[in-house]
Structure 1
Amino acid sequence: MKNTIKIIAVVGLILFTQACSKDDDNKIKVQDHDQNQMMSIMHSMMTKMMAMPMSKDPDDDFAMMMKMHHQGAIDMSSAELKNGDDPKMKEIAQKIIDAQKAEIVQLETFLAVHNPHMMSMEFTDQMMKEMEKSGRQADLQVINGDIDHDFAMLMIGHHHAAIENSRLELIYGHDASMKTMAQKIIDAQQAEIKELQEWLLSDGK
C-alpha cells in the first residue's frame, strides 16, 4: 500500500512538473525596451521627429516628417537584414528599404524647391498628436528580443503612424505630388501591415 502511494506521488510530481514546464513555454517573453535594438532605433527616430522645426505648412512639414519617418523604417529594416533569420521578414525589410529610399529622394527634391506659404495650425496640432500617440503605442508593444518578431511588431505600429500622417496630408495638404505620395504610402503600407500580421499570426513561420 505504501509503495502504491509512493508511486502515485512520484507520478503526480512528474505530471505537475511537466505542466509547469508547458506553462513556462506558453508564457509571453518580454525584453526591456532599453535593451532592445529595434526599440532603440524607434526611440531615436521619435526624438528627431519631435524636435523637428515646424513651418506649419502642411506639405512642407509632411515631407520633412516623412523623410525622418522613412529613415527610421530603413534603419529598422537594415537591422533586420543584418541580424534577422526569417526569409519572409528579410524580404519585407528589403522591400521597405527599396521603396522608402526612393521616396526620400522625392521628398528631398520637393523640399529643395518648395517655399512654405500655406499655414495650418490645425494640421500641425494633429500631426504632433499623432506623433505622441505613436510614441506611446510603441512603448506599449510587447517585444522579446527576437529580431524577426520585434521587427514585425514595431513595423506594424510604424506603418500605422505613417498612414495616419498621410491621411492628414490628404486632408490639409495642397501640393499634388505630396498628396499623391501620401496615398501611395497608405496603399503600400496597409498591404505590408497585412503581411506582417499574417506572419505573426502564423507564429512567425
Structure 2
Amino acid sequence: MKLHWIQRPGLAGLMAVVIAACNNDKGLQPQAHDANVYQQINHRMMAEMDKMTDTNDPDHDFSMMMRMHHQGAIDMSNEELKSGDNQAMKAMAQQVINAQTAEIAQFAQFLQSHKAVPIPAGPTYNAEEMESMMKMMRAQDVRILTGNSDVDYAQLLIDHHQSALEMAMSELKYGDDAQIRQMATKIIEDQKKEIGMLQDWLKANKNY
C-alpha cells in the first residue's frame, strides 16, 4: 500500500508557534518528533506498510495491514514497559501486547490459507485505508511530545488506535469473510474502550 508521504509546508510554522508557546511554560520541554522513540516506531511501521502491494481483496489487504499496524502498537507497548513509570499505562501496554499478539496470529493463519480475490470496490477500500493512515500521521504531527514515556505513549496510542478503528470500519463496509469481519468488530469494540481509558488518563494526569 503506497501511502505517498506528503509535505505539509504549513506544519513547520505551526509547530514552531506551538513549541515557542510551550517553552514559556518552564515545566514543559517539547521534544523534536524525529527524536521521539514512539514516533520512530511509527515511522518504521509506515515504511513497512508502504512496501505492501494491494491485492484489492479487502479481507486480504485488511489482514496484511493490520498485522503491521498491530506490530507497531506492540513495539510501542514494549517501549512503554521498558521506559514508562506509571502503572496504569504499563498495564495498558501489557493489555495491548496480549490482545494484539493473539490477533496477529489469527491474521497470519487466515493469510496462509486465503487466496486473494480482487473485487471492483477493492481500490475504493484501499483508498479509505490510506486516508485512515494519513489522518493518523497528521494527528501525530501536531502532538506536543516531551519525552515523558507515559504521556507520549498515551497520546500516540490514541491516534494509532483511531486509525485501526477506521480501517476496521472500512473492512466491515467492503469485506465479506465472516472471520475477518468478526475480528474487525472486536478491534472496534476493544480500541474504542481503550481510547476512552487513555483519554481519561491524560485528563487526570495533565500535569504528570
TM-score scaled to structure 1, two decimals? 0.85
Task: Name the counterpart of 2:168.
Answer: 166
Give the counterpart letter for 1:71 in structure 2. Q
| Aligned residue among 137, 140, 149 for 1:138 | 140
What is the count of residue pairs matched by the alignment? 183
More displaced stretch, 172-181 vs 132-141: 132-141
Map of 1:49-64 to 2, 5 A cutoff?
49-64=49-64
SS at match of 2:66: helix
CA distance in 1, matches of 2:201, 2:42: 21
CA distance in 2, matches of 1:98, 1:201: 25
CA deviation vs aligned residue, 1:144-173 (integer Å, no higher than 9, x gap): 110000000000000000000000000000
Structure 2 residue 156 is matched with structure 1 residue 151:
no
Unaligned ranges ≥5, structure 1: 1-22
- Is the 1:50–1:131 Cα contact (8 Å) retained in structure 2? no
Displacement of 1:118 in angstroms is 3.5
SS at match of 2:65: helix
- Is the 1:46–1:135 Cα contact (8 Å) retained in structure 2? no
Give the counterpart letter for 1:96 in structure 2. V
SS at match of 1:189: helix
Structure 2 residue 178 is matched with structure 1 residue 176:
yes
Give the counterpart letter for 2:149 in structure 1. I
- Is the 1:74–1:101 Cα contact (8 Å) retained in structure 2? yes
Unaligned ranges ≥5, structure 2: 1-22
Displacement of 1:26 in angstroms is 6.4
Give the structure with higher Rg (CA).
1
Displacement of 1:46 in angstroms is 1.2
Structure 2 residue 57 is matched with structure 1 residue 75:
no
Task: Name the counterpart of 1:3.
Answer: none
CA distance in 2, matches of 1:131, 1:51: 14
SS at match of 1:143: coil
CA distance in 2, matches of 1:151, 1:122: 32
Task: Name the counterpart of 1:45.
Answer: 45
More displaced stretch, 152-161 vs 50-59: 50-59
The percentage of counterpart residues that share the same residue type is 44
Structure 2 residue 34 is matched with structure 1 residue 34:
yes
Displacement of 1:136 in angstroms is 2.0
TM-score scaled to structure 2, two decimals? 0.84
SS at match of 2:115: coil
